[in-house]
């Protein structure tokens, strides 16, 4: 409580108390302050004991203990995950590859049997997968048939167009002749001299 107050501050407070209270009443005042602080401390201890007793009666300690064990890393199995992660981080593939664990064996494939066993797709695949594969095969067959028909249709007009003669181009009429035929010829202009005479 008085941890922040140094010796110089305590000496100053003592001198002021000596001047204000007086030398005769100073010991009695310190006794009263001591009793008051002791009473406050005892009340605080009583309060904390009562709270602990109430917590023990209601079972809060058991619930807190269960909650702590349920949320602990060991209770959830996370300690093993952490150990595995630590081992993975410390694992060095180059270091482990340099030291083979056993004698080196030649890499030869296993011998093949003389006749392979008869395995059909029906035995390997399930019924849903087989049905899906059948649908896909039917779609491919329809697509191939349609593309063949389209190729045949596209080939016919190309050969038919080669057999037909090219159409003759149309002759265009002269535009000037039509315009001249539509308008009447223009009358010559009159001059001023002809108007005066």
**pLDDT digits 0-9 by tens, 4-13:** 778 899 889 8
CB 67 within 8 A of CB 73: no
| pLDDT for residue 153 | 86
Does the pTM of the predicted model rise above 0.75? no
Per-residue DSSP letter, 152: H
Least confident stretch, 20-24, 92-96, 100-104, 143-147? 100-104
Average pLDDT for 49-65: 83
User: What stretches of 30-81 adopt beta strand conformation (E)?
Assistant: none
């Amino acid at each position: 409580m008085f941890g922040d107050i140094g010796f110089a501050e305590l000496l100053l407070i003592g001198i002021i108390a000596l001047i204000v209270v007086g030398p005769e009443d100073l010991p009695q005042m310190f006794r009263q302050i001591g009793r008051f602080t002791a009473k406050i401390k005892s009340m605080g201890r009583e309060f904390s004991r009562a709270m602990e007793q109430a917590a023990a009666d209601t079972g809060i300690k058991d619930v807190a203990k269960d909650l702590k064990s349920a949320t602990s890393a060991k209770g959830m199995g996370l300690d093993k995950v952490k150990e595995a992660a630590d081992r993975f981080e410390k694992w060095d593939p180059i270091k482990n590859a340099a030291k083979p664990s056993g004698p080196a064996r030649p890499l030869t494939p296993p011998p093949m049997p003389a006749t392979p066993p008869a395995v059909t797709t029906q035995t390997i695949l399930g019924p849903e997968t087989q049905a899906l594969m059948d649908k896909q095969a039917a779609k491919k067959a329809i697509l191939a048939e349609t593309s063949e028909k389209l190729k045949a249709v596209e080939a016919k007009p190309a050969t038919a167009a080669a057999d037909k003669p090219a159409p003759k181009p149309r002759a265009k009429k002269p535009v000037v002749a039509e315009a001249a035929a539509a308008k009447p010829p223009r009358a010559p202009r009159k001059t001023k001299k002809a108007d005066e005479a």
